[in-house]
Amino acid sequence: MSRTLNVVRMQLINRNTYIWIPLLILAGAFVLSLAVYALIPGDGAKVGGGAQAPLWYFLVVGVQSLTLTFPFSQAMSVTRREFFLGTFLTSAITSAILSVVFVIGGLIERATDGWGMNGWIFYIEGVWQGGALSAFAFYFLLAMTFFAAGFWSATLYKRFGAFWLTATLIAIAAVLVGVMWLIGRTDSWGAVFEWFASLGSVGLALMSIALIVVLAGTSFIPLRRAVP
């Protein structure tokens, strides 16, 4: 466990990647969203998706967590298992920090009626149905999902190269397009949306956990043979 924590310390040497850049992106999205809301006339609710930006950035964090530090870790005689566990623990810590910021922002929005202009950035009604803890879990799992996807892509690149990574992504995209075609062909979009709505926040959280487990598990296999 101590060696795993050493990996966390190693990863956090580069605090810009894990902490400051996500917070900077969030601050920029927040300021720009408020500026746009101020320009919109009327008293109607103003809802934007700018706060999603740092969550998407965690895809980049997942890639950089491997490409920037994996070679150094191997030179320091860190096992691949320790690197894997320490890296995901680092992501969990920083995802939790970002999620706390989201929750605080949502609480302030509720207290100020959308920053005094009915403008909502952090508080999404469906996400907050279960309260602040539910919102925290939602943002935490979303950030971890993006991180796991980025880490998964980086491990495939390290193990098999750009060609097979690209081929795999194209194959996944083709499968998704095929599924959407089948849903449209059978006129089932309404049923699909109803099914997602019926899951609620708990069901979506469980799906996110399952996806994170799959991505993490299939990342460790190529990582064991990846060249630093």
**18 part of a folded domain:** yes
- Strands 119-120, 46-47: pairing kind: parallel
Tens-digit pLDDT profile for the chain (228 aa)? 678 888 898 888 888 888 899 999 999 999 999 898 888 887 788 887 788 888 889 999 999 888 888 888 888 888 899 999 999 999 999 999 999 999 999 999 999 998 888 888 898 887 888 788 888 998 999 999 999 999 999 999 988 888 988 999 899 999 999 999 998 988 888 888 887 777 766 677 788 899 999 999 999 988 888 777
**142 part of a folded domain:** yes
Helix 21-39 with 53-67: angle, nearest 10 deg: 160
**33 part of a folded domain:** yes
**87 part of a folded domain:** yes
**228 part of a folded domain:** no
**22 part of a folded domain:** yes
Tokens of 227: 């060249």
Cα–Cα distance measured from residue 121 to residue 74, given in angstroms and rounded to the nearest whole number:
42
Residues 106 and 132 sit within 8 Å (Cβ to Cβ): yes
90, 110, 74: which is closest to 11 by C-alpha? 90
Number of domains in the chain: 1
The strand pairing partners of 120, in sequence order, are 47
**68 part of a folded domain:** yes
Range of the domain at 206: 2-223
Taking the whole predicted model, whether its pTM rises above 0.95 is answered as: no
